[in-house]
Amino acid sequence: MGDATGEIVLKGVGVTPGVAHGPAFLLTTEDVRVVERDIAEEEIPREIARFEEALIETRRQLHDIQQRVEKAMDAERASIFDAHLLVVDDRSLVEEVIRGLHTSRRNVESVLRSVSERYSAALAGLDDEYLRERAADVRDVARRILRNLAGHSSSLLAHLREPCIVIANDLAPSDTATLDTSKVIGFATDLGSATSHTAIMARALEIPAVVGLHDASTRISQGDPLLVDGSKGLVILRPSAQTLERYGQAERLRRGVRDQLDRLRDTPAETLDGYRVTLAANIELPHDVEAVLRHGAEGVGLFRSEFLFLSRERAPDELEQARAYEQVAHRLAPATVIIRTLDIGGDKFVSSLKTPSELNPFLGWRAIRFCLAQPEIFATQLRGILRASAHRNVKIMYPMISNADEVLQANRILERAKEDLRRENADFDENIEVGAMIEVPSAALTAHLIAPHVRFFSIGTNDLIQYTMAADRVNERITYLYEPTHPAILRLIRHVIEVAHDTGLWTGVCGEMAGQPALAPLLVGLGVDELSMSPNLVPLVKGMLRRMRLTDLEELAANALTSESAAAILERCRALARAAAPEICDMVE
């Protein structure tokens, strides 16, 4: 998009919220010019020696980066560099370079570039998203080795002097991890997804970032003025004075509202007429506990445990998992931590677990289906969770339950895991609570059959909407069908809540609906006991609920359950929210 002033708006995927404004620093991957030359046979030993020295230096640099990241963040973020170290130590790659020296009689820089390009191209062409992203690891390590062969600085961003926004085709995790956030105030890349290493590191550093822009690095020149909107996934090239003023005003207002909401951190989410709702946080890794505490969430309503398995060449073992879960449980005790068991498949793949490529992965071998078919992997995770339950504040949640039999099978494996730990005299919570995620219409409609075997329900609205409406939530052509306020969705949610309350269970919602200030009140009106969301959304939802009365929310829900129009329901929700807290609505609309 563009206008007469020369302003151009590029749309990508926002991975870290926030706004940054500054000059572009265009990061080109051709930072080392490779001079190709023929070599004589007697020069081959010298080239091999240069190569080995560069490998040793590269390995040292990567270990140094890993230790710095672990010290500054945590071991899980640092484990990202395990893949880079594996590339350095890959004997097949090293031996292929050495063979290339003998057969081509070209210098080692030339051979290394050729071999690494062949490796990365092969990985980039695979169907597995995780393996495709490993192509970036190979490219990153090869560039680092080439820089060491040339005697250049080990960091592409080592010489930054002024604050800037980094633009690149792709930004390697090792470069992201060592960014000086006083100089790099934002970044944007052509490649990348919400689950890429770069995105994970950006979120950890809380730098406004946008990925998946396709051609930003070819449309932006060195020094171009930029504005990065990491919330909306926008990069604005040559922003006009009007745009800067608009963003400036919005940022000043947002900062003022945020300051007011931050003062509510230690207050409950309680309506004006005294009804209290639990607001919990969704997290992915132990490091996210800092955000949970900072934003005043009452524990963790969804610990997405599969993120411990991503970005790794092998699955974490029982004790590794136990340490990660225990770290969260210990920091938040006595607040509750609900750990969702492994939910891979759909849009999340873990190469070390060898999940197959499927035609319809969202409807395939994923989540509890995978775990029940792989009982050893499942039991290992359950033992890890049980070990962390010694703090007596951990709960277990099974994802994508379709029927009661799946819960019974899972519970039997859980009992065997408990028996294993009893034989070791390990301390764990014998009465650990188990819940079922309600994401499939069949589970919602048979909630009364599932209820006797669990202690709580957690409604995953993202998938419940997708499966109920038969609408792929990432398909842009049918986004109009993805309606959280569709009467069918609201009736299913209400039915699950009624079954839960009739049988003495509580119900939470951990999908995107829970974190939307205009829709959270509707869920409370429907009877939801807990809302779990991204930590940074907790203050917004809390601020909204504290401006409302439960009686109004129940009236809103009653009207919604008799309405025929999703659009009309949504409009009523927005009108109620805007009347109660217009400044919060301005922050999210």
For the residues of 510-542, what is the DSSP string, one character each? -SGGGG-TTTHHHHHHHT-SEEEE-GGGHHHHH
* pLDDT value, residue 210: 92
- 41 pLDDT tier (thresholds 50, 70, 90): confident
Write the DSSP string, 282-319. EESSGGGHHHHHHTT--SEEEEEGGGGTTT-SS---HH
Kindly provide the residue ranges of all beta strands, DSSP E only, lying in 169-291, ordered along the sequence.
Answer: 184-189, 209-211, 225-229, 234-237, 269-270, 276-283
C-alpha 547/C-alpha 199 separation (Å) is: 35
Range from 135-139, 316-320, 498-502 carrying the lowest mean pLDDT: 135-139
pLDDT reading at 311 higher than 60: no
Comparing 81 with 556, which gets the higher pLDDT?
Answer: 556
* Residue in the block written with tokens 């393996």: 131
Q: Is 102 helix (H, G, I), strand (E, B) or coil?
A: helix
Catalytic: 152? no
List 277's β-bridge partners, or say none. 269
Q: According to DSSP H, which parts of 361-483 are helical?
A: 367-373, 375-388, 404-423, 441-445, 447-450, 461-469
Mean pLDDT (the chain, rounded)? 85
249 burial via Cβ count (<10 Å: 0-12, 13-18, 19+): exposed
Average pLDDT over residues 496-509: 98
Q: Could you tell me if 303 and 280 are in contact, meaning their C-beta atoms sit under 8 angstroms apart?
A: no
State the Cα–Cα distance between residues 308 and 51, nearest whole angstrom.
34
> Is residue 383 exposed (0-12), middle (13-18) or buried (19+ Cβ within 10 Å)?
buried
* pLDDT digits 0-9 by tens, 132-171: 667 777 887 888 888 778 765 545 565 678 899 999 888 7
What is the Cα–Cα distance from 199 to 186, expressed in whole angstroms?
12
d(CA 362, CA 348): 10
Strand bridging mode 506-509 / 434-438: unpaired
d(C-alpha 513, C-alpha 460), whole Å: 9
As a three-state string, the secondary structure of 325-372 is HHHHHHHHCCCCEEEECCCCECCECCHHHCCCCCCCHHHCCCHHHHHH
Q: How many CA atoms lie within 13 A of 401 on its CB side?
A: 33
In the chain, CATH 3.20.20.60 covers 277-588
CA 556, CA 166: separation in Å to the nearest integer? Answer: 46
What percentage of the chain has pLDDT greater than the value 90? 49
Give burial (CB, 10 Å; 0-12/13-18/19+) of 12. Answer: buried
The boundaries of every CATH 1.10.274.10 domain in the chain are 41-150
pLDDT of residue 564 exceeding 90? yes
Q: Kindly tell me the burial class for residue 392, based on how many C-beta atoms sit within 10 Å of its own C-beta (0-12, 13-18, 19 or more).
A: middle
How far is the C-alpha of 460 from the C-alpha of 468, rounded, in Å? 12
**Tens-place pLDDT, residues 171-206:** 765 566 567 778 899 989 988 766 566 666 676 677
Higher pLDDT: 94 or 130? It is: 94
Q: How far apart are CA 207 and CA 17, in angstroms?
A: 8
Task: Determine the residue type at 127.
Answer: D
The answer to whether 389 and 428 are in contact (CB under 8 A) is yes
The pLDDT-based confidence of 455 (bands split at 50, 70, 90) is very high
> Are the C-beta atoms of 463 and 400 separated by less than 8 Å?
yes
d(CA 26, CA 168): 6
Q: What is the pLDDT of residue 494?
A: 98
**CA dihedral for 447, 449, 453, 455, sign (positive or negative):** positive
Q: Report the pLDDT value the prediction gives residue 424, as an integer from 0 to 100.
A: 96
Single out the catalytic residue among 21, 197, 287, 295: 197
Looking at residue 327, what is its pLDDT? Answer: 95
- Which two structure tokens, joined as six digits, stand for 198? 């770069």
Q: Which two tokens stand for residue 304?
A: 């997405």
Active-site annotation holder among 371, 510, 573, 585: 510
Those residues with Cβ within 8 angstroms of residue 110's Cβ, 6 or more apart along the chain or in another chain:
34, 36, 37, 104
Beta strand segments in 150-232, E: 164-168, 184-189, 209-211, 225-229
Confidence (pLDDT) at 395? 98
538-545 vs 241-262: helix crossing angle, rounded to 10: 70
Name the residue among 283, 86, 290, 62 with its Cα closest to residue 177: 62
Task: Give the pLDDT band (50/70/90) at residue 580.
Answer: very high
> What's the pLDDT tens digit per position in 329-382?
999 999 999 999 998 764 444 444 555 554 565 677 788 999 999 999 999 999
Q: What is the pLDDT of residue 350?
A: 44
| One-letter amino acid for residue 431 of the chain | N
Domain 277-588 indexed as CATH 3.40.640.10: no
In CATH terms, is domain 8-30+156-255 a member of 3.30.9.10? no
| pTM for the whole structure | 0.69
Of 336-350, 405-419, 432-446, 556-570, least confident by mean pLDDT is 336-350
From 108-117, 137-146, 516-525, the region with the lowest mean pLDDT? 137-146
What span, in angstroms and rounded, lies between the C-alpha atoms of 247 and 19?
Answer: 8
Per-residue model confidence (pLDDT) at position 3: 47
Class of domain 41-150: mainly alpha
In this prediction, residues 320-327 reach a mean pLDDT of: 95
**Is residue 243 within 8 Å of residue 215, measured between CB atoms?**
no
Give catalytic status of residue 159 as yes or no.
no
Residue 190 CA to residue 8 CA, distance in Å, equals 16
Helix (H) or strand (E) holding 194: none
As a whole number of angstroms, the distance between CA 306 and CA 397 comes to 13
Among the listed ranges 55-59, 80-84, 374-378, 395-399, which one has the minimum average pLDDT value? 80-84
b/e map of 284-309 (b: 16 or more CB within 10 Å)?
bbbbbbebbeebbbbbbbbbbbbbbb
Out of 64-73, 237-246, 283-292, 442-451, least confident range: 64-73
